[in-house]
């Protein structure tokens, strides 16, 4: 059997480390060829010593000397900087690129990997939020398959196996509702980053956990589903499902609903993206259906979670608007984690940034770069004025 060579962008994050777990469990199938991190240099060194990849890359060049020195006794190429990461993914030996960087920073290297014809295991949803149309066109042009790692999209993808010819009537996208699902608006006014970081079901990185609490994560996932599965956003219904057992479903035109269920564990969608169309054995926890008292589904409350409406609005307006949505969200998400912005203020600032940023109907990659910078500037200014 041929061993697949894997590159992991963001190997020290939550998805990155779980990808390494999956690879370590199947050494006869997968090999770590290249890894990169933003600035978690100690963890990156540890991973490099354990998995001995060909190339290790750190985005923040300030950490290059430390990384280089720590790996000096090993035959590993040590690179640094954003350009080096974009180059790393094009190395001829690489079969699959796991795009698990956080935020807008994932766009450039993912584009380069697609242009090099790599199979993309996509965890970085912001890439599709910001530039879904460009990414999908490139993927088609360069025959680069994009396999979803996001649990909901993996569930949809799994439900679509064997259904390629059949029309989707509706995508049923489930959401846990996050830690503030049952909070009143009054209560939500006073929540802190510490409260938001206590997610009821999923273990994830800090940025996405805040996005989950504000439901921006679900708004992004609506956009992600639109691009991955070619379904207009009007046909994507969000359902709040606090048990996180049904990971999402498809409703077909005959009324049949197909779903994928399981215990909430990201290793399963990661492994499936690597092994598709095969399923590999795993020792991941099984969902015990007898132990489940209820599976419940509610409509999301758009008054308390306006981010979901903002995401639909950004898609309806199209152009660079989803890019604005993402840039403003990255600014307020960080500001909230640093105590510089209130929980409910986040949506207000995102909405206002969408009004104030110049609209571009048919954006190119360069337009996205400019839009991202402009929207960040506007949102940052509002955060500072709000203090």
Binding site for Mg ion (CB under 5 A): 150-152
Whichever of 151 and 371 has its CB closer to Mg ion, that residue is 151
CB within 8 Å of 198: residues ≥ 6 apart: 179
Angle subtended at Cα 22 by Cα 280 and Cα 98, rounded to the nearest 5 degrees: 105
- Closer of 247 and 304 to Mg ion (Cβ): 247
- Name which of 54 and 152 has its Cβ closer to Mg ion: 152
- Least Å distance, CB 323 to Mg ion, is 20
Q: How far is the CB of 221 from Mg ion (least distance, A)?
A: 6
The structure tokens 């898609």 sit at 315
Closer to Mg ion at the Cβ: 150 or 372? 150
The arrangement of strands across the sheet holding 257-261 comes to 236-240, 168-175, 246-252, 257-261
Minimum CB separation of residue 87 from Mg ion in Å reads 29
Nearest to Mg ion of 108, 125 (CB atom): 125
CB of 43 to Mg ion, least distance (A): 23
Torsion-angle region of residue 215: left (phi > 0), alpha (psi -120 to 50) or beta? left
We find the least distance from the C-beta atom of residue 248 to Mg ion, in angstroms, to be 9
Q: Smallest distance from the beta carbon of 296 to Mg ion, in angstroms? A: 19
Q: Using CA atoms in the order 183, 187, 189, 193, what is the torsion angle rounded to 10 degrees?
A: -70
CB of 167 to Mg ion, least distance (A): 24
Q: Per-residue DSSP letters for 246-258?
A: EEEEEEETTS-EE
**How far is the C-alpha of 191 from the C-alpha of 179, rounded, in Å?**
10
**Which residue minimizes CB distance to Mg ion?**
150
Dist CA 153 CA 87 (whole Å):
28
Cα–Cα distance for residue pair 96/7, rounded to 1 Å: 6
Instruction: Give least dist CB 363 to Mg ion, A.
Output: 26
User: Rounded to whole angstroms, how far apart are CA atoms 387 and 383?
Assistant: 7
Question: Closest CB to Mg ion among 8 and 266?
Answer: 266
In sequence order, what are the residues at sequence separation of 6 or more whose Cβ sits closer than 8 angstroms to the Cβ of residue 261?
245, 246, 247, 287
- Least CB distance from residue 383 to Mg ion, whole Å? 26
**Residue number with CB closer to Mg ion (53 or 264):** 264
Q: Which is nearer to Mg ion, 31 or 152 (CB)?
A: 152
Q: Where are the alpha helices (DSSP H) in the chain?
A: 14-25, 41-51, 64-70, 82-88, 107-115, 125-141, 151-159, 185-188, 193-196, 206-213, 216-229, 267-275, 306-317, 321-337, 343-356, 365-386
Rounded to whole angstroms, the Cα distance separating 27 from 32 reads 9
Task: Name the residue nearer to Mg ion (CB basis): 266 or 350.
Answer: 266
């Amino acid at each position: 059997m041929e061993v697949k060579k894997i590159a992991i962008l963001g190997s020290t994050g939550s998805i990155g480390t779980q990808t390494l777990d999956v690879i370590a469990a199947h050494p006869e199938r997968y090999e770590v060829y290249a890894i990169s991190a933003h600035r978690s240099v100690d963890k990156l060194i540890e991973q490099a010593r354990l998995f001995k990849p060909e190339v290790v890359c750190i985005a923040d060049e300030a950490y290059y000397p430390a990384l280089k020195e720590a790996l000096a006794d090993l035959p590993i190429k040590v690179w640094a900087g954003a350009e080096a990461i974009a180059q790393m993914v094009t190395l001829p030996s690489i079969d699959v690129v796991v795009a698990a960087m956080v935020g807008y920073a994932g766009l450039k290297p993912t584009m380069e990997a697609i242009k090099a014809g790599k199979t993309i295991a996509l965890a970085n949803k912001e890439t599709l939020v910001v530039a879904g149309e460009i990414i999908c066109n490139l993927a088609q042009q360069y025959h680069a398959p994009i396999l979803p790692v996001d649990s909901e999209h993996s569930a949809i993808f799994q439900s679509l196996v064997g259904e390629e010819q059949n029309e989707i009537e509706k995508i049923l996208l489930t959401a846990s509702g996050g830690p503030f699902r049952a909070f009143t608006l009054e209560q939500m006014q006073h929540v802190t980053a510490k409260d938001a970081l206590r997610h009821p079901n999923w273990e994830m990185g800090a940025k996405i956990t805040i996005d989950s609490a504000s439901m921006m994560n679900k708004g992004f996932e609506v956009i992600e589903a639109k691009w991955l599965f070619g379904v207009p956003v009007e046909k994507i219904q969000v359902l709040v499902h606090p048990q996180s057992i049904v990971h999402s479903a498809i409703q077909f035109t005959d009324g049949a609903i197909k779903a994928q269920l399981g215990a909430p564990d990201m290793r399963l969608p990661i492994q499936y993206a690597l092994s598709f169309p095969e399923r590999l054995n795993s020792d991941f926890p099984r969902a015990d259906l007898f132990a489940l008292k209820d599976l419940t589904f509610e409509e999301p409350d758009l008054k308390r979670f306006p981010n979901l409406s903002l995401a639909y609005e950004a898609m309806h307006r199209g152009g660079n608007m989803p890019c604005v949505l993402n840039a403003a969200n990255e600014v307020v998400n960080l500001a909230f984690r640093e105590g510089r912005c209130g929980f409910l203020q986040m949506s207000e600032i995102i909405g206002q940034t969408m009004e104030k940023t110049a609209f571009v109907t048919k954006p190119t990659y360069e337009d996205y770069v400019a839009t991202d910078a402009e929207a960040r500037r506007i949102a940052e200014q509002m955060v500072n004025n709000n203090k």
